[in-house]
Structure 1
């Protein structure tokens, strides 16, 4: 009996020793540095984000990393409130897009992260929040963006230059040289064509004198739809005129003026201005929306 009791005490002592040894060997638990409406953000998350910042050249430091994690917690919470979910497949696609943007394979991206001590989940978490926030923007913020048509009209009108007040019907004459190969010789041929050009009606017939030359009906184009350099050159031409040869991806190109009328069209300029104004207004509304979420959030720093 005494022997059994002795064995029991020895076994218990050994077990306590084993527990203590394991406890000492195990890494310490991550400490919560801030809670956002009850959602904890740990020092490990902040450290990981800092490592990611270092790879990106972001020098906002620990405060910047913490603020970004707070914003993401609010963004994910707002997405949940609106019934928005982000699937793993969407995050996977986001990861592939990151790889494409920096022109490396996804495996190489993961390897780079690991070499810098960044877990792939750190990047996935940020992508998930970005995707969720984009959905919040489309659902809740974008409908609030209002752009004044009158302001757009006035701004568009002020930006139209004299060379942009024409409407054309054009033909394009292409001397084929894929990838620009042999463009020098083709330019010389294009210049000979240009010197013999007598108007759009005979454009095709004239092209038959040359190998791999094509005449394409471009159709109606307003000057505001054309690159500025071409619009300026066309403005100086009369009907039956033809631009100087330009090297393009498919070869050497010239534009022939088949019709030309005075016509102010603000549609294209206004469309560009509307896109710019919309982007700017959306960015401001998004900033305000997130600031409002922050102002109403319960953020506790430990």
Structure 2
């Protein structure tokens, strides 16, 4: 099992509680709470989740942690809900015999703490000053890392993003003039404490709840929209700065952009809703395609070889496996502007959808068959050198997040929860 990594695929269900501790460094900028001794705690059961128990002490510890972080809203309810989810997740992991080793948990804790630029020991000392014990933090990290690994193990094989979906995501960015958005905003002054502002901004950027973002805006935003929960009226997305247009188009409703540096502040924007105004004509700035050369032109042998290849591959990347051990010159993958593609290839490619193959073109006076495979089209307005792999990975993370949310919803529906 690989070392667990902190990712964003945890899903909307955890946004209120698990996402906030991604900015645990926030406590460095806050006055520590007085330590709370064990004598003030009760270790009796407060909630039963199937065969697992949540104690009042666990609730107190998590509430204390969220309070130190300055979490908006009802932090005690947030703590209870998060702990219930974690018990369900750990129960699911137990049912599959799925558990992390001590060194994996240690690595996950260190990864969390790396955001604070402190050593783990120093960070735990700060927690102790706030009345939060090491085991509470360890349990929190263990639950999150275990859930992430379990979701990967169960659903990674089901995640499937096609080149067409990548094209659609890019097209959404390219056709920004036809899209209007409803967003909310938060402006955090950097002032004399830029590090504290950065920690708070990182915390808020993990929110996935529209009410939670609005609550945070009312509490911390220096913008004129703060009293309205940061809400901004509908507008064409083309009115926004280009750097923000791309970030907004990559969001789902409820998600928040990374912090953006503006004059004297850090800005965060949440997408509340999106609507299309019109469907513009599609144009493309680049065509990504592969050429695989087969000796024999349109001979039966060459065509049979092309058919064999076509049956054994699904995407352009599979052609690298076909060419393994063969001369590199047999495979050529390029991304060209439409007017730079030879006419015969352009005509053949125009008839294809993504990952489809044409054998219409030959080279060397008909002696070499050119197997053409369309990898994807880049819509006009999107840079031709855009990282399609990055876009695809973002879409895969969203799918995995959706599986995680659905799985947790099933666990909740089947659970016996007694408070």
TM-score tier after normalising by the smaller chain length: 0.5 to 0.7
Match of 2:60 in 1: 47
Task: Note if 1:111 corresponds to 2:125.
Answer: yes
Q: Which runs of 5+ in 1 are unaligned?
A: 1-25, 168-219, 225-262
Task: Note if 1:126 corresponds to 2:140.
Answer: yes
Match of 1:65 in 2: 79
Residue deviations 1:248-288, cap 9 Å, x none? xxxxxxxxxxxxxxx97779543232112111121122111
Instruction: Report SS of the residue matched to 1:58.
Output: coil
TM-score, with length taken from structure 1: 0.54
Q: CA deviation at 1:145?
A: 2.6
From the superposition, tell whether residues 48 and 30 of structure 1 become closer, same or farther in structure 2 (CA, over 3 Å).
same
Query: Structure 2 matches for 1:1-302, cutoff 5 A?
Result: 29-59=42-72, 60-156=74-170, 165=286, 269-301=387-419
Q: CA deviation at 1:154?
A: 4.4
Instruction: Report SS of the residue matched to 2:46.
Output: strand
CA distance in 1, matches of 2:65, 2:124: 12
Instruction: Report SS of the residue matched to 2:412.
Output: helix
Instruction: Report SS of the residue matched to 1:291.
Output: helix
The answer to whether the Cα contact below 8 Å between 1:156 and 1:269 also exists between their aligned partners in 2 is: no
CA distance in 1, matches of 2:334, 2:163: 24
From the superposition, tell whether residues 222 and 98 of structure 1 become closer, same or farther in structure 2 (CA, over 3 Å).
same
CA distance in 2, matches of 1:115, 1:86: 28
CA distance in 1, matches of 2:148, 2:394: 18
From the superposition, tell whether residues 111 and 35 of structure 1 become closer, same or farther in structure 2 (CA, over 3 Å).
same
Q: CA deviation at 1:155?
A: 4.2
Instruction: Report SS of the residue matched to 1:57.
Output: coil
Q: Which runs of 5+ in 2 are unaligned?
A: 1-38, 176-282, 289-332, 338-375, 379-383
Q: CA deviation at 1:134?
A: 1.1
CA distance in 1, matches of 2:143, 2:397: 20
Instruction: Report SS of the residue matched to 1:33.
Output: strand
Residue deviations 1:104-125, cap 9 Å, x none? 1222111111110000101100
Residue deviations 1:155-196, cap 9 Å, x none? 4467579996499xxxxxxxxxxxxxxxxxxxxxxxxxxxxx
Structure showing the higher helix proportion among its residues: 1
Q: CA deviation at 1:80?
A: 1.2
CA distance in 1, matches of 2:100, 2:404: 19
The answer to whether the Cα contact below 8 Å between 1:34 and 1:41 also exists between their aligned partners in 2 is: yes
CA distance in 2, matches of 1:122, 1:155: 41
Aligned length: 186
Match of 2:325 in 1: none
Q: CA deviation at 1:222?
A: 6.0
From the superposition, tell whether residues 114 and 165 of structure 1 become closer, same or farther in structure 2 (CA, over 3 Å).
same
Residue deviations 1:57-93, cap 9 Å, x none? 2234111101111111111111111121111211111
Q: CA deviation at 1:141?
A: 2.3
Instruction: Report SS of the residue matched to 2:64.
Output: helix
CA distance in 1, matches of 2:409, 2:50: 15
RMSD over aligned Cα, in angstroms?
3.2
Worse-superposed segment, 96-105 or 62-71: 96-105
TM-score, with length taken from structure 2: 0.40
From the superposition, tell whether residues 106 and 221 of structure 1 become closer, same or farther in structure 2 (CA, over 3 Å).
farther
